[in-house]
A and B are shown apart, each in its own frame.
Chain A
Amino acid sequence: MRGLIWTVAGISALLIIVLFILLGYLLIQRTIESRRNKRVKQYKAQFVEHWLLYLLEGVDPPEGGLPQKREAYVAIDDVFYHYCFSISDHLPRKRVRWFVENYMVDFYKKKLLSSRWDERLNALHRITDLQLQMFVDDVRSMLRREDKVYTEAEYVQMYVIMAKFDVYDSYAYLQNPQVSLNVFHYTTILNEAAPRIFNKVITHFNTSPLQLKLAIIDVIGLKKQVTYIDVLETNLQSDDEEIRIRSLKAIDQIGFVKEASIYAAFAQSDRWPERLMAARIFLHIPNDWVIDALFDLLRDPSWWVRKRAAETLSQKHGGTSLLQDVINQDTDPYAIDQARAILARQVETGT
């Protein structure tokens, strides 16, 4: 018993001592950090105008405004980041690159090669946000390293950099990623990819992994890329339901229908999401048969389909009176309900 007590007491005492040492460390670290932050702040206040004038008008900053100490790098990095966040002009962005190239390459490279995961990810984000193309080769060699495995977030960001800066072989990484990527990851990458890379990825559509296929379809819709509408229409014949539905969704987002007749079948589909998408797409089809199809969808077993059909009808030319007819003459209580709901909403918003 005695022995046990002494052991527990010893452990407790040891832990408390360790924790107090940690407390001391944190307090000291905090003091150092707050001093450093203060210096960064002072430095920033002193030179921010010079840096902005350099970025906006190309006026060279004074000697003191060039980075020499760590605080200076941190301050400039922050100013450049916020600047790039607000300004999209080509020339000022280029000046950011020139400045980094001349003075700050080591600062970012050190972060990029850091053993800390968070620092590396920060650096990758900065390279993307400040469009620092000069680091592309570093990123590429990171990707080629066989002795090191990065985290999923890092791989995604490295692929973003490759695709964004138009590195020719980046599509290959998307086809065979080093970690398994889901639709969200692919969408993030494709959303920032250079047009040439995007095009390249699309030409290899059929051999792509499913998740990439889905992402391609999503991004075509997101960016309203009318030029790729053929890809979407081809995919409507796919055996995969998910691919069909996403393609329909993308076509609706683009809002342009080339061949109206292929959509009629989807209104008859036995999957309600397909009928729902059909009800949406009918908005973009001017033909008369669409009205009849929408009236049928107004009696659909799914609430979502009925709702969407009523909405589409109301946005059609003369739609309000069509819905009024439904309320007056129809026998289907669901259809009447939906028509009422949509008309009530229209009164509400005054449209």
Chain B
Amino acid sequence: MEFMSTAIDIFAFILLVYMVIAILSYSIMLFTAVRLLLKKRYLDKTALDARYLNTPHLKPVSVIVPVYNEEKGVLVSVQSLLGLKYPEFEVIISNDGSNDDTQKTLIDHYQMTEISLPIRQRIPTKKPIKALYQSNIYPNLLLVDKDNGGKSDALNAGLNVSNYPFFCSVDGDSVLEKTCLLRVMEPLATSDQVIASGGSIRVANNSDIQMGEVLAVNLPQKPFAIMQLIEYVRAFLMGRTALSQYNLNLILSGAFSVFSKEWVMKAGGYRTDIVGEDMELVVNLHRLIKESGEDRRIVFVPDPVCWTEVPETMQGLGRQRRRWHLGLIQSLWKHKKMTFNPKYGLIGTLSFPYFWLIEFLGPMIELGGYIFVVIAFLMGEVYFELAILLSLLFVLYNSIFSMASVLLEAWTLNRYPKRRDLLKITLYSLTETFWFRPINSFWRLQGSIQFLTHTKKWEKADRKGFGTSQSK
């Protein structure tokens, strides 16, 4: 009994310390983001876009879209890409051996014919390219046909085909707003120091999207999708904006980010032996930057928005989250030597410990916390006060930050302009602590267990083939 209570005390202490650290770092991030975003609230972005469009800086970009069994969503996505406002770009769809009609749909709709260009294999791919097609309507639309080798392999194949010095990775089920590429390229185009840049991802479920154009933004109907909407707003607006300010960001979503090809080639392209290839690439780039001693940055830009469908069922969402978490841990583990290593600057001393603590250990501690609270309430008296304190901290740590992020979004970017919608998501954000967060932590814990037990079984997400890219 004595031992039990000491153990509980220690655990409670760890919990409290974790909470304090987490709440402190979230607070810092929130304030950084608020400061940055409020500053440019009234900026006339249309005028700015038009100016950039006519500056000589915008270099040509290859947009690479890996697809696997996406016959339903691929056309809308490609339509949105072809409608991008950008001086010069090409769209390369890399078909990773789909066994549905993805390829036929594209070939028919865009009148594609096979061409025989010699391809320079700068990054070795697991599966060779079988054929290359070009559209007769859009000469800048190419389709790569290859055998199934995984998302990274498809991206690498696209990289080998690409002709331009920058490339943009886009998921096959995402829809980009017209000004997206322009805005995400802006940091790379106006500074030699920036080698990669990523944009925001938003939840598109239930929005009215026609022929690649977002006509009306609606809130999703399923609670799970609404919670993800809030989660994305929080992760992108609060998390990445702040981290990026100090060049500490370890993740750019593969669903929508641009890179300097030169640097990605130096990094050897996308790793095929890892689940979260997008995070892996960014971590790899950070490492290269520090090892080469050059002053380069990886940035996040909040306002170019890429719309994507998120899983609405528990099953689908769980699968996705386990995958993401597994990918995250794999990347952290692979580059573990960077942790606390002053050679890697703030990335090593701040980012890595932060990710290990909040992202890796976080779910375990949180889940422990939830269990603790439930048990403490059941046991009555003894730990009652501690349980109340913890519950309050949970509310502070989850719900309040989520609510603040949602309001920050409404205040600045304002992508959900209906008043009713704003009210609804604000109220939803307050419930996060009580159901979504524990479930999510549970899935993430499963991901950690998969990593620890070396489960090689790669899960496939619902209708997405690859699963959407890492988003948090």
Residues of A whose CB lies within 8 Å of any CB of B are: 1-2, 4-5, 8-9, 11-12, 15-16, 19, 22-23, 26-27, 30-31, 34, 81, 85, 116-119, 121-122, 125-126, 129, 182-185, 187-188, 191, 218, 222, 303, 337, 340-341, 344-345, 348
Contacts and interface: CB of A to CB of B under 8 A. Distances in A.
B1 interface: no
Interface of B: 39-44, 47-48, 50-51, 55-57, 115-118, 120, 189-192, 385-386, 388-389, 392-393, 395-396, 400, 403-404, 407, 410-411, 417, 419, 422-423, 426, 430
Most buried by B among A23, A34, A183: A23
A133 B80 CA distance: 39
A119 to B, nearest CB: 6
B43 A16 contact: no
Contacts of B43: 118, 121-122
B42 A31 contact: no
Given A4-B389, A184-B189, A344-B118, A15 B47 contact: no
Given A22-B411, A81-B47, 10 more contacts: A1-B385, A12-B396, A15-B400, A16-B403, A34-B417, A118-B39, A118-B43, A129-B51, A187-B56, A187-B57
Contacts of A183: 192
Contacts of B41: 118
B407 A116 contact: no
Nearest to A111: B42
A9 B42 contact: no
Contacts of B189: 184
B42 A8 contact: no
Contacts of A81: 47
A4 B385 CA distance: 10
Given A5-B392, A191-B55, A345-B117, A85 B50 contact: yes
A12 B395 contact: yes
B385 A5 contact: yes
Given A118-B41, A184-B57, A184-B189, A9 B392 contact: yes
Contacts of B419: 27, 30-31
Given A19-B404, A85-B50, A348 B56 contact: no
Given A27-B423, A85-B50, A118-B42, A8 B396 contact: yes
Contacts of B44: 122, 125
B392 A348 contact: no
Given A8-B396, A85-B50, A348 B117 contact: yes
Contact of A12 (B50, B118, B120, B400): B400
A240 to B, nearest CB: 16
B396 A15 contact: yes
Contacts of A121: 43
